[in-house]
Chains A and B, each alone.
Chain A
């Protein structure tokens, strides 16, 4: 079963920042926080991951609280193409891609 909790859906205006929350109540010390997204029925796409520190790449920023019990994925300037289901996952990095997906957050970017 998934170990994370996310709101089922969110809306965001085009051009604004989308902030997607995730609760990681059972995350262990050596598990990373991963974010993936799935557009329509395509295969999931990697966005970003982190352990303790905040991370940023060309797609998004990841904010992890100090106690690591929650994280926020930030899409700084949402576009219509960012409409997708977003999944946060707790996983180890050295045991293969054993990901336990929940139902994610369905983000709709509104024109």
Chain B
């Protein structure tokens, strides 16, 4: 979706490695969030932010860290990847009326 950029699109990690999933927006919106989607499941909220400097945990926060130092960026950090974190990750921007989702990062942990 225009205005929400997720990188990378695909990533393979070894168990125990760390990495950062990037999410950037150019809509100047306060709300940003991260979701994961496992096969055959709906999206589950990992962390969210209602503005720069403010973050909070969602439904499944364990194993992930976030920070929001700017309005534009909301990176998601995996500190020590585990096979259970194999999933598709979506960043969302906006809320209140409608949220715009990125195209996703497909992560495989082997």
Determine how close the nearest CB of chain B comes to the CB of A8; give it in whole angstroms.
10
Secondary structure at the A interface, as helix, strand, loop or mixed, is loop
Judged by a CB distance under 8 angstroms, whether A26 is at the interface is no
Q: How large is the interface on B (under 10, 10 to 19, 20 to 34, 35 or more residues)?
A: 20 to 34
Binding site for B on A (CB under 8 A): 1-2, 41-46, 49, 87, 93-104
By a beta-carbon cutoff of 8 Å, the part of chain B in contact with chain A is 1, 4, 30-33, 35, 40-45, 48-50, 58-59, 88, 90, 92-104
CA distance A94 to B51 in the complex (A): 12
Query: Chain A residues with Cβ under 8 A from B95's Cβ?
Result: 93, 95-98
Residues from chain A with Cβ under 8 Å of B100 in the complex: 43, 46
- Can you list 17 residue pairs at the A/B interface with Cβ under 8 Å? A43-B1, A43-B4, A43-B100, A43-B102, A45-B101, A49-B98, A96-B30, A96-B50, A97-B31, A97-B48, A97-B92, A97-B99, A98-B33, A98-B48, A98-B95, A99-B99, A102-B42
